[in-house]
Structure 1
Amino acid sequence: MVLRHPDRDQIRIEGVLAALGNPVRMAAVRVLDGGGEHNCSSVLGILGVTAKSTMTHHWRVLRESGVIWQQPSGRENLLTLRREDLDARYPGLLDAILAGALRDEASQAAQHVGPSGG
């Protein structure tokens, strides 16, 4: 199977923002931002997703928008964040989006805890 990946100069801001606008895809990108290659199953486990079919669409959106590399390896696909390409096209964008996601998560967690601590 040949997977479509855009060249660096074909990556478009609207595609990247649309891909990262979904909470499941954003969570997957946060996992991949730790560096290295990850197989799909390991990312699914971290995200708590049990069905591979649930993620097929998300991987395609991330791949075709230029956010990730997805390379077949045996019966699995290896995923890598295209940080170098994204940083070259849109310097600071990925860092700002990931930092914003962390702030949103912390804010949401604080709202659930509330002032009484529980």
Structure 2
Amino acid sequence: MSMTELLTAEDIKKAVGAFTAVDSFDHKKFFQMVGLKKKSPDDVRKVFHILDKDKSGFIEEEELGFILKGFSPDARDLSVKETKTLLAAGDKDGDGKIGADEFSTLVAES
């Protein structure tokens, strides 16, 4: 499954384009712009599994740094600061990674 099967290419392009400057990433705005907030819980889980590149069942800190590339291959990497901010926002149980339920909560809070 690809991201464009779940979200429109136009929304993805707009959302990724809005955060091209380093340290400008805002996950709440991004999830709204990309259309993820309006998706069903099942579709949000599908997006999670696309972003979970190593298929571990979690999005680890290293994978978070490449989250924009999960939506668009030519997107930039997140800065260390942005990655840590996103991890802190999503990691509710403090294990250093974001699980599917935590990701769903993160999107719902947007």
TM-based fold match above 0.5: no
TM-score, with length taken from structure 2: 0.33
TM-score, with length taken from structure 1: 0.31
User: Which protein has the larger Cα radius of gyration, Structure 1 or Structure 2?
Assistant: 1
